[in-house]
Structure 1
Amino acid sequence: MKSIVICGVSSRALSMFIKPLLKQFSTIYEITGLLDADPKRFAVCKEAFPELAHVPEYKEEDFDSMMSVSKPDIVIVTGRDDTHVTYILRSLQWDTDVITEKPMVTTVQDAKRVLEAEAKSKGKVTVAFNYRYSPYHRKIKEMILEGKIGRVTSVDLNWYIDTYHGASYFKRWNRSRQFSGGLSVHKSTHHFDLVNWWLGQNPAEVFAYGELNYYGPDSEWNPLPEEDGRFCGTCRVKEKCHYYARWHPRASKASVKDDHLKADADQSNLYTAYRPDACIFDDEIDIEDTYVAAVKYDGGALLSYSIIFSAPYEGYRLTINGTKGRIESNEFHEPSRIPFAFPEQTIEYYPLFESKQTIQVVKNEGGHGGGDPLLLADLFIGKDPLRQYDILAGAEAGAYSIAVGEGIWRSVVEKKPIDIKQLFHMQNV
Structure 2
Amino acid sequence: MKRYAVCGVSNRAIGMFIQPMLNTFTASSELVGLLDYDSKRFRLTKEKLPQIEHVREYKESEFELMVQETKPDVIIVTGRDDTHVDYIIKALEHDLDVITEKPMATTAADCKRIMDAEEKSKGEVTVTFNYRYSPFHTKIKEMILEGRVGRVTSVDLNWYIDTYHGSSYFQRWNRKREFSGGLSIHKSSHHFDLINWWLDQTPKEAFAFGALNYYGQDSVHNPKKEDGRVCATCNLQLQCPYYARWNSRSNSMKVKDDHIQSDKSRKDQYTNYRPDQCIFDSEIEIEDTYTATVRYDQGALLSYSINFSLPYEGYRLAINGTEGRIETKEIHAPSRVPFPFEEQSIDYFPLFGSKETIHVVQREGGHGGGDPVIQEDLFMGPDPTRSYEILSGSRDGSYAVATGEAIWRSVKEKKSVHIDELLKQTSTHV
TM-score (norm 2): 0.98
Counterpart in 2 of 1:105?
105
Report how many aligned residue pairs link the two structures.
427
Residue of structure 2 in register with 1:344 after alignment: 343
Q: Is the 1:168–1:260 contact (alpha carbons within 8 Å) kept by the matching residues of 2?
A: no
Q: Amino acid of the residue matched to residue 170 of structure 2?
A: F
* Residue 425 (1) aligns with residue 403 (2): no
TM alignment of 1:152-191, pairs within 5 A: 152-191=152-191
Aligned to 2:224: 224
Alpha-carbon distance between aligned partners in 2 of 1:251 and 1:343, rounded to the nearest angstrom: 33
What is aligned with 1:313?
Answer: 312
Q: Report the equivalent of 1:412.
A: 411
The Cα of 1:26 is off from its aligned counterpart by: 1.2
SS of corresponding position for 1:319? strand
Q: Which residue of 2 aligns with 1:396?
A: 395
RMSD of the TM alignment (CA)?
1.2
- 2:122 maps to 122
Residue 160 of structure 1 contacts residue 308 of structure 1 at CA under 8 Å; is this kept in 2? yes
8 Å CA contact 2:108–2:425 kept in 1: the answer is: no
- Map residues 4-403 of structure 1 onto 2, 5 A cutoff: 4-225=4-225, 227-250=226-249, 253-258=252-257, 260=260, 262=262, 264=264, 267-269=267-269, 271-403=270-402
CA contact (8 A) 1:103 1:402 kept: yes
Asked if the contact 2:109–2:423 (Cα under 8 Å) also holds between the matched residues in 1, the reply is: yes
Contact 1:233 1:264 in 2 (8 A): no
The residue type paired with residue 40 of structure 1 is K
CA distance in structure 1 between the aligned counterparts of 2:91 and 2:232, rounded to whole angstroms: 39
* Cα separation, 2, equivalents of 1:321 and 1:49: 47
Q: Contact 1:232–1:265 at 8 Å: present in 2 too?
A: no
One-letter amino acid of the counterpart of residue 46, structure 1: K
Check whether the contact 1:183–1:288 (CA below 8 A) recurs between aligned residues.
yes
What secondary structure sits across from 1:15 in the alignment? helix
The alpha carbon displacement at 1:365 in A equals 1.2
Comparing 256-265 with 194-203, greater Cα deviation is found at 256-265
Percentage of matched positions with identical amino acids: 63
Does the CA-based 8 Å contact 2:163-2:242 persist in structure 1?
Answer: yes
Could you list the per-position Cα deviations for residues 99-137 of structure 1 after superposition, in whole angstroms to 9, with x for gaps in the alignment?
Answer: 000000000000000000001100000000000000000
State the 1:427 CA deviation: 3.7
SS of alignment partner, residue 233 of structure 1? coil
One-letter code aligned to 1:294? T
Q: Which string of whole-angstrom CA distances, capped at 9 and with x for unpartnered residues, describes residues 303-332 of structure 1? A: 000000001000000000000000000000
**Offset at residue 256 of structure 1 (A):** 1.3
CA 1:282–1:100 in structure 2 vs 1: closer, same or farther (change >3 Å)? same
SS in 2 for 1:60: coil
Please give the per-residue CA displacement for 1:239-290, whole angstroms capped at 9, x wherever unaligned.
1110001001337713112264646467112x11221110000111121100
Secondary structure of the structure 2 residue equivalent to 1:320: strand
2-structure distance, mates of 1:32, 1:340: 47
Report the Cα distance in structure 1 between the residues aligned to 2:310 and 2:186, rounded to whole angstroms.
18
CA distance in 1, matches of 2:261, 2:169: 10
- Per-residue CA distance 1:217-254 (angstroms, 9 max, x = gap): 000000112x1110001111111110001001337713
Query: For structure 1, which runs of at least 5 residues remain unmatched after alignment?
Result: none
Give the whole-Å Cα distance in 2 for the aligned partners of 1:347 and 1:149: 13
Q: TM-score with structure 1 length normalisation?
A: 0.98
Aligned partner of 1:169: which letter?
Answer: Y
> Against the structure 1 CA distance between its residues 352 and 89, is the aligned structure 2 distance closer, same or farther, given a 3 Å change threshold?
same
| Matched AA of 2:241 | H
Does the CA contact (< 8 Å) of 1:80 and 1:179 recur in 2? yes
For the residues of structure 2 that align with 1:314 and 1:185, how far apart are their CA atoms? 19
Whole-Å separation in 2 of the counterparts to 1:236 and 1:97: 49
Letter in 2 for 1:50: P
Q: Deviations over 1:385-426 (max 9, x none)?
A: 221000000000000000100000100010000011211223
Closer, same or farther in 2 for the Cα pair 1:406/1:50, shift >3 Å? same
Segments ≥4 residues shifted beyond 4 Å: 263-266
What is the rounded CA distance, in whole Å, between the counterparts of 1:277 and 1:346 in structure 2? Answer: 36
User: CA–CA distance in 1 between the matches of 2:174 and 2:43?
Assistant: 23
